[in-house]
Amino acid sequence: MIKKLDNKLGTEEITQTGNKTVEASPSGSASPRPKKKRSLLAFRDSAIDKITRTNTEFGDRKYRLFKFDVSKGTSLKGLLLRFARTTERKDFTMDIWIHGKKTSHTIGTFPSIKCKDVEKICLELAETHQDERGYWIKNPIQTKADNKRLITKKDTTRPTGKTLNEVGESYCGTDEEESLAEKV
C-alpha cells in the first residue's frame, strides 16, 4: 500500500477493445471490403457546379455518390448526387427505405433542375408519401408509373349547364341531326 495512484493518462493502445482499421481484402476473399463514407457536399448550386471529372476520384466505379450536408429531420433526408464518370451527368437521387428494402428514386438532372426545385419536389414527396414520423408509406416510383399508366376519366359529376330536355336530346343524338339539317 505504499504505491500511490498516478493521475497521468496512459498512452499505449488498448489491444482488446481498440477499433482498428481493416485494409481491403484481396479479391476472392470471404471477408468484405471496409465501407467508405460518402463525402458530404453543401446543398448549393455553386458547390455542385464545382464537381468535375478531374477533381473526383471514382476508383473502379462508373459513378460516384455524394451525400448532401442536410439535417435528417427535413424532407431532404436521403438525398444524394450521382456523378457519372463518362458523361459527367449529375443526377439528384433519393434513397428510400420502404418495407425494409432500399430503393433509389431519381428526381432529375442538375443543370435542368436547381437546388430550390429539388427542395420543392422533395417536400411534395414527403407530404404525399410519408407518414407524420417521416417513414415512407408509399413508393414514389410506383406512383410515377401509375400516373403514366392510368388514364383519367372526364369528370361527369359537374353540371354542363344543359336543361333536362337538352340532356335527353344529346343522349338520343337528336341535337346533332338537327344541327346537320340546319346547316344544309
Domain ranges of the chain: 40-150
Cα dihedral: 144, 150, 155, 157 (round 10):
-100
Is the pLDDT assigned to residue 54 strictly greater than 70? Answer: yes
Pick the CATH number of 40-150 from 3.90.78.10, 3.30.160.390, 3.40.50.300, 3.30.565.10: 3.30.160.390
Smallest CA-to-CA distance from 123 within 163, 165, 70 is with 70
Is the whole-model pTM more than 0.85? no
The pLDDT mean for the chain works out to 77
User: For 76-109, what is each residue's pLDDT tens digit?
Assistant: 888 888 888 888 888 989 888 888 888 888 888 8
> Could you give the CA distance from residue 148 to residue 142 in angstroms, rounded to a whole number?
10
> Could you give the CA distance from residue 129 to residue 138 in angstroms, rounded to a whole number?
5
Q: Where are the beta strands (DSSP E) in the chain?
A: 40-41, 63-68, 79-84, 90-98, 101-109
